[in-house]
Amino acid sequence: MTERWFPDEMPMPAANAETVGWWEAAAAHRLVVQRCTACGHLRHPPGPVCPRCRSSASEWSALAGTGTVYTFTVVRQAFIPSLADKLPYVVVAVELDGAQGARIVSNLVDVEPEEVIVGMPVEVAWEDMGPELAVPRFRVAGHRGERR
């Protein structure tokens, strides 16, 4: 159990029929994306229907939890007052390995903002937010340092 990276005022995940399986996997520290069992298309965020073939049949496909930085920003002005003392922080879009181009938005942690570049390899760094809730943040691949 690590320290909460963002304060309690941040939104909490509220799972629905399409996303509950994703959050259950996350709680077990497994990063998954939805896989259409009819055509094999991988998609994220989860949804009720495959946008490619319209099938509603899907399963959870486990990923390695690695990827590359597709794009990022360094947030330097907080609009949620309680985030002010976290500034600056990095919001990243990660192109996930083995996910057919699917991307996930998250934070890149344990990194100096000036070091972040597009294309940088990253890996998932799970943050437990409660007994049945974990969120996937990312850090630079191979990084073993302390959380900033």
Partner 1 sequence: MTPPRGRRAVIAGVATSDYPHLPHLSEHAVHGQSADRALADAGLTFADVDGFATTGFFPMYATGVAEYLGLHPIYFDETNSGGSSFEVLVEHAAYAVESGAVDVVLVTYGSVQLSQMGRRLGTGGGGGGGFAPGPAIYDALWGNTLVGNYAMAARRHMHEFGTTPEQLAAVAVTMRHHAATNPQAQEREPITVEDVVSSRLVADPLHKLDCCVISDGGGACVVTTEERAADLPGDPVYILGAAHATTHHLNLSAMPSLTVSPAAQCGPVAFARAGITPADVDVAQLYDSFTITVVLTVEDLGFCAKGEGGAFVENGGLEIGGRLPTNTDGGGLSACHPGMRGMFLIVEAVRQLRGEGGATQVPGARIAVAHGTGGMLSTGATLVLGREAP
Residues making contact with partner 1 (CB under 8 A):
6, 9-14, 16, 18-19, 44-47, 70-80, 83, 86, 89, 91, 93, 102-107, 113, 118-119, 135
Which C-beta is closer to partner 1: that of 70 or that of 126? 70
Written as six digits, the tokens of 30 are 């497994």
**Smallest distance from the beta carbon of 115 to partner 1, in angstroms?**
12
| Residue in the structure block whose two tokens are 């229907």 | 49
Which C-beta is closer to partner 1: that of 13 or that of 21? 13
Q: Residue 60, SS3?
A: strand
Written as six digits, the tokens of 54 are 């319209």
**Smallest distance from the beta carbon of 135 to partner 1, in angstroms?**
6
Q: How far apart are CA 75 and CA 115, in angstroms?
A: 14
Segment (H or E) for 22? helix 20-27
**Smallest distance from the beta carbon of 76 to partner 1, in angstroms?**
5
Which C-beta is closer to partner 1: that of 81 or that of 145? 81
CB 74 within 8 A of CB 89: yes
